[in-house]
Structure formats: structure tokens, C-alpha cells
Structure 1
Amino acid sequence: MREARGARRRRETRARLLDAALKLMADRGMDGVAINEITEAADVGFGSFYNHFESKEAIHRALTDLVFEEFANALDRALTGVTDPAEIIAASVRHTLYRARRDRTWALFLLRESLSSRMLTRGLGLHLLRDIEKGIGAGRFKAEDPLMAFMGLAGSVLAALSIEVQYGEAADTPLPPELRSAVGLPSPEFPERAATTMLRFLGVPPAEARRVARMPLAELEAPRATGD
């Protein structure tokens, strides 16, 4: 059925507001952005903002749902039927880094918001802790303390995201030549290198970690349009 013109305009306006807020908040954080800056960047009237969001905090919550919850749920759907916790974690790490390579703004927002008080109770953090616990319970991982393993992996993922954004395949400022050869960046296989190291951290043997980190990746759903 054809979408009504009013509904389409409302959806498009909401999408513009979310896109503008994402770019601004990825750069400066929620507290550093004013509502009028969002509406100006979105090219909509100031009053239109309140037709879609009751406050700056409300649009920020909508963005965290898009960046954290929806991506984590898309990973779960793509990995339905995969039972090996090592495969799940390796694929999740790789998909996250490949998404960062394609969408720098998404990665910057994720980096800025990942250390919030909800990192253990939502989206990617919650799913990572769950998968670590499953791997330890199944004897696949050798870690003894799920929380410490989570902290090590979460920190490594954030560091890898930062490296990918700053010095990866799509970075604007490449490393100096002497560093490039020393650390092997930029590298098309950086997501696989990161996944291998994280599996090693969890006690997966070297050859097995390399194999699992290079298995074919299940296709991930295209990100939902921000206005949907």
C-alpha cells in the first residue's frame, strides 16, 4: 500500500533529525549539542523537533537504541544456528570493525557512548558478556572470571575500533611510513587480526583462533534507516 504523503514527510523529517544528531553527538557528545544545532543541521524548523522527540535526551536514547541495540540484535539474527561461542565472538568482532570501516560516524558514536553506566546491561556489551559466559560454561574458553574476560575483550574491541577509525583502510590520516611497516596498518585483514587476538585472550589455541577468525562471515542485515 502506498505510504501517505504526510506519513512519509514525518518519517523523512525524523530521519533527518536523527542523522544530524548522530553526527553532532558522535563529535561532541550529548551535552555538547543544543537542539537548535540539530534542527539547523537537519534543515527543519526548531518546533518540528518536538513533533518527534520530547527532549535532547529522548533523541539521544533513540540513537543509542539504533547504534547499540539494533546492531546487537542484527548480529544475533545473522548468527542464528551458530553454536560455537568462539565463532560467535569472532564474527561479532569482525562485523563491528567492518561496520566501523564503512561508517565512521557510527563508530565514533559507539566509542563515545560505550563506557557509559549501561555498558553491561544493553546491546553489544550485554551480548558480549552473555557469549563469554556461554563459552566458559561450555569449556570453549579458558578464562576463569567472566567479568574480567569481558573487561579485557570490551577494552580490546574499543581500542580496535579507535585504530580502525584513525588509521584503518578508510582513515584520512595514515600512519607515518616507519610505523605502517612496524604494525601492519592499514590492513584489509585488521578485523581478522583483532578477532584472532581476542580468541587467544580467551584461551583458544593459536591455529584454531586463526581458523575461526577467518571463517566465512554470515551476511548482516543492512542498517535500518534512522527514520523507520
Structure 2
Amino acid sequence: MTIQDHRTRVAAEKRERMRMRLIESALLVFSEKGVDAAVIDDVIAQAEVSRGTFYNYFRTNEELMAAVLLEVGNELLQLVEQALSTCNEPAQRLATALRMVLHTTRRYPLMGRFTSRVGIDLAVQNSLALVYLPRDLKLGIDAGRFQLSDPLIGLDLIFGAMRAAIYALVSRPKLPARYPEDVTYHLLLSLGMTKATARKLVELPIKPVDVPPDSLLGRTKHRHPLSD
């Protein structure tokens, strides 16, 4: 590695550390003030940075919120993917993942409020959902589990239904406990599964996602100091 390459790598690492510090600060502020608050001044104070430094990374409240959602959402998807690492059947993995995401949203409603506030175009940019969902949809189609002409159609169906379901979970707290199962069941039907098969998949037992308390998602419930 040349001296120039080393300097470029160090500069990129430093920039990413500052970006994550701002995101962590924003998460703490949003956790305290809610997603409707204008938080830029509070984030600058929390992160102990200059206004110019902040605007080098984010231009608006909405852009900051989208960045927080991306990091928290990808963290959740990685936890779900890890939990399902031994499941090799694509339809079961997809159904279980959808249920896990919805149940976790109920446990951590701030994430759901981020999703509801951020437009779908920003919510899915660089999301790991664009990696995991097409993979399982294609495998399910190839195995004859899903009756779709194109995995992208399934992706559209899932994104639309999941965003609506997440909004419902955070805005209608008295929804039945099995709401995630009901949503997943009807999504599986829309992907071409039979009622019997879809019902069997959503009745399989699942465990809650193991969310570390010091993770970004865990911090949406409890205030934690910023990482160094």
C-alpha cells in the first residue's frame, strides 16, 4: 500500500466514524423528542460538532432521518438473517423474516415511526432488503413455492404491504397480537402460495429477534452514551 493509499483509507475511515457519530447522536435525540421534531441543532450539540461539520454529511432533517433508518433497518435485517442462517427453505425463511421484522417493530416502535415518516424511495436505498428479498424470491420461484413471473413483482408487493403494516403497528396500538402473522399470510397468498401452505408457514414457532441493548436498534428504547 502506498502512502497516498494509506492516507485515503484513513480519511475514509475518519469520515465514516464521524458519520456514525452523527447518526448515533440523531438516534438519541429522536428517541427523546420523537420523529416529528426538527433536531439538527440538538444533534449538533449532542455530537459536539460544528454546524459546518454537520452539513458536510447531511443537508436536511429528512436526510438525517433516512440515514438513521437505513442503519437501524440494516442492523435489524442482519440480526434476522443471522437468526435464519440454518433455514434453507426460501419460503419459510421469507415468511419467518417478515414476521420477525413486524414483531420487532412492535417492540421498538421508534423504528416504525422512522419508516412511516421516510418516503419509500429513501427507505429502501442501500437497504439489505434489496439483497435478501430478491434472493429468497428467486429461490422460491425456482423451487415452485412462489408463482411469480418476476421476483421484482414480489418485491413490490412486499415493500408496499410491509410499509403499510409498519404504519398500522405504530398508529394503531390495539391491533391483535397475531397481526404480523395475518399480514404475512396474505402476503404469501399474493406470492401465489395456497391457503393451506401459507397458513402452515405463519403458524411455525419463532423466537424474538435478539437485539443487543447497545445496538442502534436497542438504543431506540434506552439512552446510551455515544461510542468512541
**Normalised TM-score (structure 2):** 0.71
Q: Which residue of 1 aligns with 2:184?
A: 195
Q: In the superposition, relative to structure 1, how do residues 15 and 119 fare at CA in structure 2: closer, same or farther (>3 Å)?
A: closer
Q: Which residue of 2 aligns with 1:161?
A: 166
Q: Which residue of 2 aligns with 1:210?
A: 199
SS state of the match for residue 27, structure 1?
coil
Per the TM alignment, residue 191 of structure 1 is displaced from its structure 2 partner at its CA by 0.7
Q: In the superposition, relative to structure 1, how do residues 24 and 127 fare at CA in structure 2: closer, same or farther (>3 Å)?
A: farther
User: What amino acid is aligned across from residue 58 of structure 2 in structure 1?
Assistant: K
User: Does 2:127 correspond to 1:141?
Assistant: no
Q: In the superposition, relative to structure 1, how do residues 191 and 65 fare at CA in structure 2: closer, same or farther (>3 Å)?
A: same
Q: In the superposition, relative to structure 1, how do residues 72 and 114 fare at CA in structure 2: closer, same or farther (>3 Å)?
A: farther
Consecutive unaligned residues in structure 1, runs of 5 or more: 1-10, 170-185
Q: Which residue of 2 aligns with 1:112?
A: 117
Matching of residues 1-228 of structure 1 within 5 Å? 15-21=24-30, 26-27=35-36, 33=38, 35-39=40-44, 42=46, 45=48, 47=50, 55-56=57-58, 63-113=68-118, 115-116=120-121, 119=124, 121-169=126-174, 186-223=175-212, 224-226=214-216, 227-228=226-227
CA distance in 1, matches of 2:58, 2:48: 15
Q: Percent same amino acid at aligned positions?
A: 22
SS state of the match for residue 74, structure 1?
helix
Write the deviation string for residues 106-139 of structure 1: whole angstroms up to 9, x where unpaired: 1111233361257264222432222212211221
Q: Is the 8 A contact 2:104 2:208 kept in 1?
A: no
CA RMSD, aligned part only?
A: 3.3
Per the TM alignment, residue 203 of structure 1 is displaced from its structure 2 partner at its CA by 1.3
Per the TM alignment, residue 48 of structure 1 is displaced from its structure 2 partner at its CA by 9.9
CA distance in 1, matches of 2:176, 2:69: 29
SS state of the match for residue 36, structure 2?
helix
Per the TM alignment, residue 59 of structure 1 is displaced from its structure 2 partner at its CA by 5.7
Q: Is the 8 A contact 1:74 1:220 kept in 2?
A: yes
CA distance in 2, matches of 1:121, 1:59: 15
Per the TM alignment, residue 189 of structure 1 is displaced from its structure 2 partner at its CA by 0.6
User: What amino acid is aligned across from residue 135 of structure 1 in structure 2?
Assistant: G
> Which moves more between the two structures, 83-92 or 19-28?
19-28
CA distance in 2, matches of 1:53, 1:220: 35
Q: Is the 8 A contact 1:26 1:108 kept in 2?
A: yes
Q: Which residue of 2 aligns with 1:173?
A: none
Structure 1 segments (4+ residues) deviating >4 Å: 11-17, 21-25, 44-50, 57-62
SS state of the match for residue 149, structure 2?
coil
Q: Is the 8 A contact 2:26 2:39 kept in 1?
A: no
CA distance in 1, matches of 2:25, 2:141: 43
User: What amino acid is aligned across from residue 109 of structure 2 in structure 1?
Assistant: R
Q: Which residue of 2 aligns with 1:183?
A: none
Q: Is the 8 A contact 2:23 2:67 kept in 1?
A: no
Consecutive unaligned residues in structure 2, runs of 5 or more: 1-19, 217-225
Q: Is the 8 A contact 1:35 1:56 kept in 2?
A: no
Q: In the superposition, relative to structure 1, how do residues 37 and 129 fare at CA in structure 2: closer, same or farther (>3 Å)?
A: same
